[in-house]
Amino acid sequence: MAEKKGFNWISLLVGIVLIVGSVFAFMNPVATFLTLAIMLGIVAVVRGLMLIVAFFRISERTTFKVWFFLIVGILLTILGVIFLFRPAFAAIVFAFMIAAWFIFDAINNLINIDRMKPSGNGIYFLSIALNLLFLVGGIITALHPWIVGISIPIIIGISLMSSGIQNLVMAFFGPRDLA
């Protein structure tokens, strides 16, 4: 069956909204990053409360696994509230988490790099080089956490722009029944 071609108003509107969002992300990366921190706070509070409710709904509360729900739920809720009322703190914590992730992952990969030798010298040396770059990137991020605050909104802006353009193209050239 042939697809019906025609103008798709929903794709047009979604495309415009995404492109406008990307422009805002590019114009004010700090506000974009703080907004993400607030959204992360909301998610943490909701998830924490869900875990606390799950703890009280489970009739058998004798295993560590069940008590872990309560502990993690309380910690997530507290962290979420802090993130909601102190989004700048959330942004700093997030930046240091990314730095720690890069550093620990790179060190772990370099410690276990001998596992890459069977793949050949090219892959082996490429893995060493990439992990050294991740290590340096993690150290730089730990020393200058604002880099994360600037780069993530730029990535978000690029993603929104790309999706917006794709939706605009779909509005004019895509099938009518897809949004």
CA–CA distance, 14 with 4 (Å, rounded to integer): 20
Does position 54 have pLDDT exceeding 50, yes or no?
Answer: yes
Tokens of 35: 């907004």
The reported pLDDT for the residue numbered 47 is 93
Q: CA 45 → CA 31, 35, 37, 98, distances in Å?
A: 21, 15, 12, 21
Nearest to 80 by CA among 70, 71, 88, 90: 90
Q: How confident is the model at residue 178 (pLDDT cuts 50, 70, 90)?
A: low
Higher pLDDT, 44 or 4: 44
Residue boundaries of the structural domains of the chain:
9-173
Does position 3 have pLDDT exceeding 70, yes or no?
Answer: no
Nearest to 152 by CA among 57, 68, 66, 37: 37
Q: Is the dihedral of CA 147, 150, 154, 156 positive or negative?
A: positive
Higher pLDDT, 146 or 133: 133
The reported pLDDT for the residue numbered 6 is 66
CA–CA distance, 133 with 143 (Å, rounded to integer): 15
Question: Which residues pair with residue 175 across a beta bridge?
Answer: 5
Cβ(105)–Cβ(130) under 8 Å?
no
Tokens of 83: 């993130």
The reported pLDDT for the residue numbered 179 is 47
Stretch 80-108: mean pLDDT, rounded? Answer: 88
Over residues 101-138, the pLDDT tens digits come to 899 999 998 998 888 888 889 888 999 999 999 999 99
| Terminal alpha carbon distance of the chain | 19
Does position 1 have pLDDT exceeding 70, yes or no?
Answer: no
Tokens of 131: 């992990």
